[in-house]
Amino acid sequence: MHGFGSAKLILLGEHVVVHGVPAIVAGLTRGVRATLTPSHDDTLIVHTDDGAELFRVDADHPPRDPRLTTAWAHIRDTFSVPDARFHVRLDLEVPLGAGLGSSAALSVALARALATHVDGVEPARNDPRVTLAVAGSEGAFHGHASGIDQAAAQFGGLFVFTRGAPRIPIHAKPITLAVCQAAPGASTADQVAFVRARRERHTVAVGHLEAMIAGLVEDARRALETGDAATLGELMDLNHGALVALGVSTPALDLACHHAREAGALGAKLTGAGGGGCVVAVCDEPEPILARWRAHDLPAFSVTLGASESA
Ligand code: PMV
């Protein structure tokens, strides 16, 4: 039994999306693949992109981080098969916990694979049991998440996400993004709590930042629809500045943005919760940017939106 969940890239609007501001997100064609095989005991093995085993959880290997097994238990409960046992293989096509939505992607992959096991057919994208299972397991990973990662992991494509509102698809012209992991990721729950506290202490100033980002999101949507990469890049630079002001960037993330701009990016920003993790840059030509990052030992890849990614 197989299941897939998309990884995600937030183009603009992370953090403020928790407080009701729209954000733009792309669910990618890379993500997490789950394979379930019914078994007499429980095993969970996580593989990286190159096929190497990252870690396993079984009778001899207790979880180092209980969130994954808690999430998996929650998914089994939702499908009313709490005692079923499986050999689970998870293949990660993105780094774990680096702001690319790996936890939502793996929850969606597991829930879809389990739905296929229970029903004998693949579930619909909007299967309510998958939605419920993933919402609960995202709670195990992130506390009070906005739901943006889950929406991207479940539905894929490029869209405007507003908490509690329907997704608004963006019909983008092809646009190329380069992505690198600048540092190990930080806890999303801690980063969200940090922003919440800053927002409570500086209500007016953070309110201005939220209004500014809302404007950037609106303009970025138009830039994506018209394929105006230069404007999108400028808007992403501005969004990065606002994220610096919110306190979620780091020297490593700032430096990775500078490297990208120097190597020809039209704009760059941190993506996801910050405190570490990934940077996204918009560009005409990704190779010089990827080469610059790789020269600094930062793993990197490129994606084109508006072609297969946003289909
Ligand atoms: O944990 P990440 O890096 O996927 O970040 C998710 C985006 C946030 O806006 C920081 C949190 C949320 O739930 O929207």
Residue of 8, 9, 10, 19 to test ligand 1 pocket, by largest number of atoms within 8 Å of CB: 10
Q: Let me know if 149 is a catalytic residue.
A: yes
Residue among 287, 196, 213, 203 at smallest CA distance from 10: 213
pLDDT in tens, 272-305: 999 999 999 999 999 999 999 999 999 999 999 9
- Report the C-alpha gap between 87 and 47 in whole angstroms: 13
Q: What is the band of 310 on the pLDDT scale with cuts at 50, 70, 90?
A: very low
Q: What percent of the chain has pLDDT over 90?
A: 85
pTM, two decimals, is 0.94
Query: Ligand 1: which atom is nearest the Cα of residue 14?
Result: 9
pLDDT at residue 46, as a whole number:
94
pLDDT in tens, 4-28: 999 999 999 999 999 999 999 999 9
pLDDT at 56 over 80: yes
Residue of 8, 11, 16, 17 to test ligand 1 pocket, by largest number of atoms within 8 Å of CB: 17
Q: 101-140 in b/e burial notation, b at 16+ Cβ within 10 A? A: bbbbbbbbbbbbbbbbbeeeeebeeebebbbebbbbbbeb
**Tokens 């018209």 identify what position?**
226
Identify the residues whose C-beta falls under 6 Å from ligand 1: 14-15, 17-18, 99, 101, 145-146, 148-149, 188, 192, 272-273
Looking at 49, 91, 149, 297, which residue is catalytic?
Answer: 149
Enumerate the H helices of the chain as residue ranges: 67-78, 102-119, 128-142, 148-155, 188-201, 203-226, 229-246, 251-262, 287-295
pLDDT in tens, 210-229: 999 999 999 999 999 999 99
Which protein residue has the closest C-alpha to ligand 1 atom 10? Answer: 273
Which protein residue has the closest C-alpha to ligand 1 atom 14? Answer: 146
